[in-house]
Structure 1
């Protein structure tokens, strides 16, 4: 028995030392960062900017790999199944790490346990817009149009926040619109401009340039306060006389569950350094991006709150799991 205990103690110490040694040399090669949405999306733009700054801190390149599909599920699933060695990370969102649990009947991973929270990056509001040929000049007029012709108004969605932001508004306003799903935000934007769909609610990175260029008509922002980036647009609450509507998209870094804490902490420091970088803050100020550096534990707690929040929003919007 003493021999067995001693053997276990030696083995345990050896494993701890191996973990510490690996963390001390980490990263010894490029890191792969999976973006679960298409190139050009807000997640992609923010992920690439952060990856560049994180590379400077870590001393190794961070290679972005886009793997879009099923509201981010395909990319998230790949990271969930990756080796927990710090060389594969996820640029996660409210979709992959909060809402998917309520949107899908079954996930190929356990959303609550498959990931090690690394660091929160920041958040952005969305803009609700319509094609220029749609007669509605305000969100109230769009709601009135939808009330007069249930199901006539079509809206695009390529992510959880895009779908839920509109369905939540539909539920609170007592209207019915027809959803047209897309694989990517840029593809949905192309069809909004072309008139294949009438309405689209998307993050500032995708929507604001088109609103500013006059290619689509912005109606409202989904945050609880007006955005300095587009102060002329009212909030959904203002536009419809509501008081409880708010929906924002957020971004955070996750690693596969089981990634050594020492490696998670190194990644956390790199993300926080990027978040505090003035170049990044200034680059994304125009899309309403608000950074919020924090600890892995703070992200873990936020993920629990957000999962509950999105479950409530999805249920109240009447969205059935697929």
Structure 2
């Protein structure tokens, strides 16, 4: 009996000790730098969003949030790396709409976007712009439509690879125009932008976070924005719908994720830091300069974000299937 009592007492003490260690561990988080994986090349629009958010989150978390660019395969390489990472809160993923569309675009996706991650919160929804090299002949969106129809495969369109936001925008453009272009995939829209400015490709769709400075600096031509309303930072640029392309709308939302199984209290700590970043006047002002703004508070919770991803997967699946575009 004494042996049994001693064993129970030891077990209880062990359980208490383990529980105390777990609480202490959660309270100590983060105790070292955190890596935020961006699944696209440096210099692109998602990279810009990530660096603004990471800098502010570093201050509230008390540890540096380091952005690591892991480009390739339309964002799936970087996302896959995070899906396999330890669920300890030290590896984050900042991805855009491609996180949801990958579920339908890839036949052999090595992870499930809906179930292999914990959602931390939505960050921003960025408008896109259709831009061109300065030497391209068309002056208006109407002329672009006629130009593409007349030249078809001779017109080159740059994108960041299958599943990227620029790829989705290009698919919608070709569908709306009723003509195909020669697509030129890159390891991110940063390198694509370099070639567009240099005149090596004709057209590209990219987020305002990456194009506003180039447009204002006169380095590229702009034909329209992809949202229903004009962008405050580019008030004179018509929407695609104003230019005659009915129902042409693409907004590129971004969200933060951690691997499945990450403790809830760590997710909540990261969500609190994300909210602080999105309420930071410097971040808000910088987002405005780039033609976007932080998501509203009611859309930043992990629960809303999780349900939103599931809904977006369902929304894009029939569109991608009807286009017949897949990647291995």
> Displacement, 1:67?
1.0
SS in 1 for 2:153: coil
Matched, 1:41 2:44: yes
Residues 129, 102 of structure 1: CA spacing in aligned structure 2 closer, same or farther, 3 A cutoff?
Answer: same
The structural deviation recorded for 1:314 is 2.5
- Given the alignment of the two structures, is residue 296 of structure 1 paired with residue 299 of structure 2, yes or no? no
- The worse-fitting range, judged by mean Cα deviation, of 36-45 and 219-228 is 36-45
Matched ranges for 1:26-37 at <5 A? 26-37=29-40
Number of aligned positions between the proteins = 315
Q: 1: distance between equivalents of 2:168 and 2:324? A: 10
Distance 2:148 2:100 in 1: 30
Matched-pair contact (CA < 8 Å) for 2:120–2:271: yes
> In the alignment, is residue 240 of structure 1 matched against residue 253 of structure 2?
no
Name the structure 2 match of 1:186. 190
**Aligned equivalents of 1:92 and 1:241: distance in 2?**
28
CA RMSD of aligned residues (A): 2.1
The residue number in structure 1 matching 2:321 is: 315
Report how far residue 121 of structure 1 moved.
0.8
Change (3 A) 1:235 1:286: same
Structure 1: unaligned runs, 5 residues or longer: none
Tell whether the 8 Å contact from 2:72 to 2:78 is kept in structure 1 after alignment. Answer: yes
1:231 aligns with 235
Structure 1 residue runs of 4 or more that deviate by more than 6 Å after TM superposition: 9-15
Larger radius of gyration: 2
Q: Establish whether residue 198 from structure 1 lines up as the match of residue 202 from structure 2.
A: yes
Conserved? CA contact 2:287–2:294, under 8 Å: no
Q: Which residue of 1 aligns with 2:175?
A: 171
User: CA separation in 1, counterparts of 2:130 and 2:256?
Assistant: 27
**C-alpha distance in 1, partners of 2:263/2:26?**
8
Structure 2 matches for 1:207-286, cutoff 5 A?
Answer: 207-242=211-246, 244-286=247-289
Aligned to 1:129: 131
Tell me if structure 1 keeps the 8 A contact 2:123–2:256: yes
Aligned-residue offset at 1:173: 2.4
List alignment gaps of at least 5 residues for structure 2: none
* Displacement after TM superposition at 1:311 (Å): 2.2
Q: Could you tell me which residue of structure 2 aligns to residue 112 of structure 1?
A: 114
2:206 is paired with a residue whose SS is strand
Q: Confirm or deny that 1:101 pairs with 2:82.
A: no
Q: Which residue of 2 aligns with 1:80?
A: 83
- Whether the aligned pair in 1 keeps the contact of 2:209 and 2:292 (CA below 8 Å) is no
Q: How far apart are the structure 2 equivalents of 1:45 and 1:198?
A: 24
SS of residue matched to 1:89 = strand
